[in-house]
Amino acid sequence: LQSHEEDDRKVRRREKNRVAAQRSRKKQTQKADKLHEEYESLEQENTSLKREIGKLTDEMKHLSEVLKDHEKICPLLHCTMNFVTLPRPDALAGCLPR
């Protein structure tokens, strides 16, 4: 009778452990799935940001070229007074070609 009760206890304990292990595996699987989804989302965001950086880099190159071209012909950039803040608008008139 005592041996039979011990066997029952062992069976119940094994079943309890089996259910707990199953629950733990399910929880780990869900955690891994969630991490994988986060990873995929971050990869997509990273790709999108790299594309945006590429576009902005191209735009910066273009604008730098436009600025360089403009600097060649802009008379105000060749005037030393350009770097001084002046309250009078007619002060810059001295820098313009006549």
Tell me how far apart the terminal alpha carbons of the chain are, to the nearest angstrom. Answer: 120
**pLDDT tens, residue by residue, 66-77:** 999 999 898 887
pLDDT tens-digit map of 78-94:
665 555 555 555 545 55
Q: 10 Å Cβ neighbour count for 95?
A: 14
Q: What is the mean pLDDT of the chain?
A: 86
d(CA 56, CA 64): 12
Cα angle 77, 82, 88; round to 5? 135
Instruction: For the chain, give every domain's residue range.
Output: 1-78
Distance CA 26, CA 30 (A): 6
Query: What is the value of pTM for the model shown?
Result: 0.56
